[in-house]
Amino acid sequence: MSIPAFDLVIRNALVATASDTYSADIGIQGGRIVQLGMGLAAGAREIDAQGRVVTPGGVDAHCHLDQPMEAPARMADDFNTGTRSAACGGTTTVIPFAAQHKGQSLRAAVEDYHRRAEGRAHVDYAFHLIVSDPTPQVLTEELPALIREGYTSFKIYMTYDDMKLDDGQMLDVLDVAREHGAMAMIHAENADCIEWLTRRLEAAGRTAPRFHALSRPMLVEREATHRAIALAELVDVPIMVVHVSGREAVEQIRSARSQGLKVFAETCPQYLFLTAEDLGVDDSYQGARCICSPPPRDKRNQQVIWDGLADGLFTIFSSDHAPFKYDAPEGKKPEGKEVAFRHIPNGIPGLETRMPLLYSEGVLGGRITLNRFVELTATNPAKAYGLHPRKGTIAVGSDADLVIWDERPVTIRNAQLHHEVDYTPYEGIRLQAWPAYTLARGEVVWDGRDFHPRQGGGQFLRCETPSLLPRRPKPGQASVSQPDTDR
Ligand code: DUC
Ligand code: ZN
Ligand code: ZN
């Protein structure tokens, strides 16, 4: 008997990349794609895709797993349950955050986060950093060294007392990003405005979950987005504005782009499928489930976000999975109590539902093309954070991270999801698709019904310089300057 040419062949796929859609068989060997074409030789195993769409596995470039929290808060998902949930929704690479707390060395934060991840993940993972204490040691030694070692992106917060940087600190950190070719991600909300509004709401006894949205109106996001863009312009560095929620922030980004500035933008499912009303129309505590920042806005802003997904304004679509149980003392009810909105842990789950929501309502709903779906959910996140072309595409040499889509009606039910959170904000939404198979480096991790664990099979990925950033001249290589026509 002849030896099979491949470990696995996916037959009769309708392959979709960010640029093309075509029919092919996919030959997989050693966890990589080794051949694409019609009529490939036999594999040791074969899956007949029956003409169904096959996309790259999703790259969720913004999610939080087992991130250390101030007690009593604790995230419900760690690298085991979070990546299990990711796989069952078609995501095969996650990039959560190694978060520095003030007074801590950045290196210590990274080492601690590796201990949390080691041997637990079912899909591959990389780390972003969160820089909350940019001491001279961090700026001149730790951060440059970590960027060289494969941590080529970091998040900067403009709000939260324990995380936020002032403008001078932001300039310093952005300058490190420019000098060393890293991607800076910005949480853009004005901290002082939020504090001022929160105090006024509290003084008026308005502390129910729904007032979270009133404490963070779009103005505070608009102002911070504008300021972040100006600071990045001053330093001359590209930035990624994350979790953009609606029109006023979008306008800032469009205006910056029209001036030729390299401003990238991310949005998330909550800004398409939720509104501020999901935080409550009365003072019920149930709305705590949908507390996240920036908060969801309204239907008109949802349309602005859809438009930005369709027309290229947005670079990536992430979940911002920040998993806290609702009915738990370490979750949305700190120490078992219904507390004022300021004290409710911020964030919602979404790793498993991100890809199906956008495939179903975006692609099958006629709002975005299939190729744009691939670009937003896989190719661009891989490029933005230095993982492409190993991740984020279907090509010879790339990892065999794949999703075979099943176009069938599905109703989202938390009982059927694989995270550890006790609710989904998308309960009851009817979709038209779900992954029939998810493959992580050639292994089936989800078959449309069952999860197939490979705990510890997920590998840590060192990130290269983001390929969305301009190439930096090699040392000693003079840059070619344009003739100065003003003189
Ligand atoms: N920002 C995030 O990116 N995630 C959760 C909470 C927040 O404010
Ligand atoms: Zn944020
Ligand atoms: Zn986040």
Quote the pLDDT of residue 469.
Answer: 77
Question: Per the domain annotation, does 407 fall within a domain?
Answer: no
Ligand nearest to the CA of 160: 1
Domain boundaries, position 340: 58-384
Question: Per the domain annotation, does 29 fall within a domain?
Answer: no
pLDDT band at 477 (very low <50, low <70, confident <90, very high): low
Question: Per the domain annotation, does 38 fall within a domain?
Answer: no
| pLDDT, tens digit (0-9, with 9 covering 90-100), for 223-246 | 999 999 999 999 999 999 999 999
Q: What is the CATH number of the domain that holds 84?
A: 3.20.20.140
Secondary structure class of 252 (helix, strand, coil): helix
Give the ligand 1 atom nearest the CA of 322.
Answer: 5
Does any ligand 1 atom lie closer than 6 A to the CB of residue 432? no
Does any ligand 1 atom lie closer than 6 A to the CB of residue 270? no
Ligand nearest to the CA of 346: 1
Q: How far is the CA of 262 from the centre of ligand 1 (A)?
A: 23
Task: Give mean pLDDT, residues 344-358.
Answer: 98
Ligand 1 atom 5: the closest Cα is on which residue?
347
Question: Per the domain annotation, does 283 fall within a domain?
Answer: yes
Task: Give mean pLDDT, residues 314-338.
Answer: 98
At 307, which helix (H) or strand (E)? Answer: helix 299-311
Please measure the distance between the N-terminal and C-terminal CA atoms of the chain and give it in whole angstroms: 78
User: How many Cβ atoms sit within 10 Å of the Cβ of residue 39?
Assistant: 7
- Alpha-helical (H) ranges within 332-480 are 354-357, 370-374, 380-384
State the chain's mean pLDDT as an integer: 96
| pLDDT, tens digit (0-9, with 9 covering 90-100), for 434-456 | 999 999 999 999 999 999 999 99
- In the predicted model, is pLDDT for residue 329 greater than 60? yes
Does any ligand 1 atom lie closer than 6 A to the CB of residue 347? yes
Give the ligand 1 atom nearest the CA of 189.
Answer: 8
Residue tagged 């937003």 (tokens): 376
Question: Are residues 356 and 435 in contact, defined by beta-carbon separation less than 8 angstroms?
Answer: yes
Those residues whose beta carbon sits under 5 angstroms from the ion ligand 3 are 320
Question: Per the domain annotation, does 137 fall within a domain?
Answer: yes
- In the predicted model, is pLDDT for residue 472 greater than 90? no
Ligand 1 atom 8: the closest Cα is on which residue?
293
> Across the strands, what pairs with 129?
98, 154
Question: Are residues 215 and 202 in contact, defined by beta-carbon separation less than 8 angstroms?
Answer: no
Question: Per the domain annotation, does 22 fall within a domain?
Answer: no
Does any ligand 1 atom lie closer than 6 A to the CB of residue 322? yes
> Which tokens belong to 169?
């600190």
Q: How far is the CA of 152 from the centre of ligand 2 (A)?
A: 18
Question: Per the domain annotation, does 400 fall within a domain?
Answer: no
Burial readout 368-385 (b: 16 or more C-beta within 10 A, e: otherwise): bebbbbbbbbbbbbbbbb
| pLDDT, tens digit (0-9, with 9 covering 90-100), for 177-222 | 999 999 999 999 999 999 999 999 999 999 999 999 999 999 999 9
- In the predicted model, is pLDDT for residue 476 greater than 90? no
CA 286/CA 283 separation, integer angstroms: 9
Does any ligand 1 atom lie closer than 6 A to the CB of residue 222? no
pLDDT band at 487 (very low <50, low <70, confident <90, very high): very low
Q: How far is the CA of 293 from the centre of ligand 1 (A)?
A: 6
> Which tokens belong to 232?
């990045």
Quote the pLDDT of residue 482.
Answer: 44
Question: Per the domain annotation, does 483 fall within a domain?
Answer: no
Domains identified in the chain, total number: 1
Q: How far is the CA of 334 from the centre of ligand 1 (A)?
A: 18
| pLDDT, tens digit (0-9, with 9 covering 90-100), for 24-54 | 999 999 999 999 999 999 999 999 999 999 9
Quote the pLDDT of residue 474.
Answer: 66
